[in-house]
Amino acid sequence: MAKNIDKKTSKQDKPVRANAKKGEYTLTTKDNIRLICGFVFMILGLFLAAAFISYLFYWKSDLSAVHETNPNVSPEYSNICGPMGAHIAQSFVGGGFGAGIHNVLEAAVYGVPVFFGPNNRKFQEVQSLKACGGGIEVIATCDFTERMDAFTADGQLLERAGKAAGEYVSDSIGATARIFANLGL
């Protein structure tokens, strides 16, 4: 004989624990697990967004703090998410040491010189930034340290590289319209 199944109750609403009593609250239902995971990912997303936005404003001090090599100096982080936010934001801007490169225009649009690794030949924006002086290719840590030391010692050099990066982006505005015009569309 077939069992009578109540179609109003869903399997997802039933507790995973077999011995849960009716009306007893438990965190182990599938819906609650989804809710908790969603909340955790939402908090993580907000943290990352705050770290990235803060990095756009305080990149100079965060960059020097992230790459501080003297063990006797305690670096001061300006990122609102602290040292973890500065390190996470720094790691998401750049690339070029593996198969690809992150979007270099995100930093360049704010007049920030962009560092990237040697695997950059396939990327037009990177080649153009290198040509105008707004992008700097580094092969090893010593290259990066050398360039950062030069930027630290000469603020005008840093300003010129940042200005070149920003001007490259502003000069490229309207590229889609130019492409369509060249195609006759």
Domain extent listing, the chain: 30-67+74-183
Using the predicted structure, report yes or no on whether residue 131 has a pLDDT greater than 90. yes
What percent of the chain has a predicted confidence (pLDDT) above 90?
Answer: 3
Task: Give the three-state DSSP class for 25.
Answer: coil
Residue 178: CB atoms within 10 A of its CB come to 10
For 58-73, b where at least 16 C-beta lie within 10 A, e where not — what string? bbeebbbbbeeeeeee
Residue 95 to residue 103: CA distance in whole angstroms? 9
Side chain identity, residue 161: A
Residue with tokens 């399997």: 11
21-70 residue pLDDT tens: 666 666 667 778 888 888 888 998 888 888 878 877 776 777 677 666 67
pTM, to two decimals: 0.47
Quick one: pLDDT at residue 15? 47
Q: Are 100 and 125 in contact (CB under 8 A)?
A: no
Largest interatomic CA distance in the chain:
87
